[in-house]
Amino acid sequence: MIADAIETAEAAAVNSIASEIEFGVPSKEIRNYIDTNEIDFAILGTHGKTDFSRYMMGGVSVKIVRTSPVPVMWVREPDSSGG
């Protein structure tokens, strides 16, 4: 999945592409990466779960949006049914 995203970015001639794998609490590791690498805009994939309990408990992307010092955009994978 990460390799596919990198390939897509390279095909679109994105200027700077980096990938890194870290271990730990995902939201904390992503926030640390944003801070450490002077990221100015974050794009996060989301599964788009919409039930109220998931929203209140907060997934990784929700935690990033709440704590990020930079703008964050959520991107949902297209529906596989084509709809």
| Extents of the domains making up the chain | 25-78
CATH of domain 25-78: 3.40.50.620
Look at residue 82 in the predicted model and tell me its pLDDT. 56
pTM across the whole model: 0.62
Assign residue 73 a region (left: φ > 0; alpha: ψ between -120 and 50; beta: otherwise).
beta
For the stretch 7-26, pLDDT in tens is 887 788 777 767 778 899 98
For the stretch 32-81, pLDDT in tens is 999 998 888 888 877 655 655 555 556 787 888 888 899 988 887 766 66
